């Protein structure tokens, strides 16, 4: 899919988190109103430069975008991946004057739709209804990311591996609404998520099991409420 050349599929757009809830009929009107800019990027081409002040949200149409951070000593870190349908830069686009502390790079040849934040917010006579939907989706996306970050932070701010585990498992239990639940990670992924060593974490899990706090099998867990931390 080449964005600059060809027309983007409405079927694709209406499934993205940003355009979710709009019908294929509404899309042309809405797109005419928010006036997106389509751009193609070669592999490893820089889409957004650290230090820039951006006002547009990027929507990945095809390819893949990596959000990377370069520190004072020039060490690069991959912060996030944006796949087709994902948006990026939204936290900065709505904060005029806030300079990018990350860069966005096309990890593969990529087609990007750039939507100016002001176009999202400004009123136009014809498409206010669609605007409302767009803004609603935008707020929901931001809120969702916010909750995910807050949640992860609340686990990671615990000092010990055991506390991190209990914080995470307790959280998952509340989501499931049960003391028995499945987690979406294997051990290595869970260790990466909690930023701890896998073997140490595995060890701690087994200790807790031996102490009768919980039982598990693979990714299934069962918390025992009788035991206090």
Partner DNA sequence: ACAAGTATGTTGGAAATACAACGATTACTC
Partner DNA sequence: GAGTAATCGTTGTATTTCCAACATACTTGT
Which positions touch DNA (CB under 7 A)? 159-162, 186-188, 195-206, 216, 218-219
CA gyration radius, the chain: 22
Name the helix (H) or strand (E) containing 189: helix 187-194
17/15 Cα distance (integer angstroms): 7
Tokens of 158: 């615990």
The whole-angstrom separation of Cα 64 and Cα 110 is 6
The answer to whether residue 152 forms part of the interface with its own copies (CB under 8 A) is yes
Site for its own copies, residues 77 to 106, rule: CB under 8 A: 77, 79, 90-95, 98, 101
Beta carbon nearer to its own copies, 12 or 181: 181
201 binds its own copies (CB under 8 A): no
Tell whether residue 11 is a contact of its own copies (CB under 8 A). Answer: no
Nearest alpha carbon to residue 117 among 47, 30, 35: 35
d(CA 36, CA 219) in angstroms, rounded, equals 43
Kindly state whether residue 35 participates in binding its own copies, applying the rule CB under 8 A: no
Closest CA to 31 of 157, 126, 138: 126
Q: Name residues contacting its own copies, limited to 36-75 (CB under 8 A).
A: 69, 71-73, 75
Q: Which of 24, 81, 108, 122 binds its own copies (CB under 8 A)?
A: 122
Q: For residue 30, how many C-alpha atoms fall within 13 Å in the half-sphere facing its CB?
A: 24
> How many other C-beta atoms lie within 10 A of the C-beta of residue 40?
18
Q: Which stretch binds its own copies (CB under 8 A): 40-48, 114-122, 183-191, 200-208?
A: 114-122
Residue 159 engages its own copies in binding (rule: CB under 8 A): yes
- Judged by CB under 8 A, does residue 176 bind its own copies? no
The whole-angstrom separation of Cα 198 and Cα 149 is 22
Per CB under 8 A, residues contacting its own copies are: 69, 71-73, 75, 77, 79, 90-95, 98, 101, 117, 121-123, 128-129, 132, 135-136, 138-140, 142-147, 149-154, 156-159, 166-167, 169-171, 173-175, 179, 195, 223, 225, 227-229
């Amino acid at each position: 899919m080449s964005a600059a050349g060809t027309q983007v599929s409405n079927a694709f757009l209406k499934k993205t988190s940003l355009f979710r809830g709009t019908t294929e009929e509404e899309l042309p009107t809405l797109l005419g109103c928010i006036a997106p800019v389509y751009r193609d990027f070669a592999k490893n081409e820089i889409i957004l430069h650290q230090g820039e002040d951006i006002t547009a949200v990027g929507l990945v149409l095809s390819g893949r975008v990596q959000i990377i951070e370069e520190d004072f000593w020039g060490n690069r870190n991959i912060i996030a991946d944006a796949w087709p349908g994902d948006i990026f830069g939204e936290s900065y686009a709505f904060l005029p004057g806030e300079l990018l502390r990350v860069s966005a790079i096309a990890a593969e040849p990529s087609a990007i739709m750039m939507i100016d934040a002001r176009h999202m917010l400004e009123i136009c006579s014809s498409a206010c209804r669609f605007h409302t939907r767009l803004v609603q989706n935008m707020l929901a996306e931001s809120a969702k990311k916010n909750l995910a970050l807050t949640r992860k932070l609340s686990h990671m701010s615990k000092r010990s591996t055991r506390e991190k585990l209990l914080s995470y498992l307790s959280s998952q239990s509340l989501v499931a609404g049960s003391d028995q639940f499945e987690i979406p990670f294997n051990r290595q992924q869970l260790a990466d998520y909690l930023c701890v060593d896998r073997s140490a974490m595995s060890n701690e899990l087994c200790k807790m099991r031996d102490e009768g706090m919980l039982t598990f099998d693979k990714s299934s867990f069962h918390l025992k409420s009788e035991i206090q931390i």
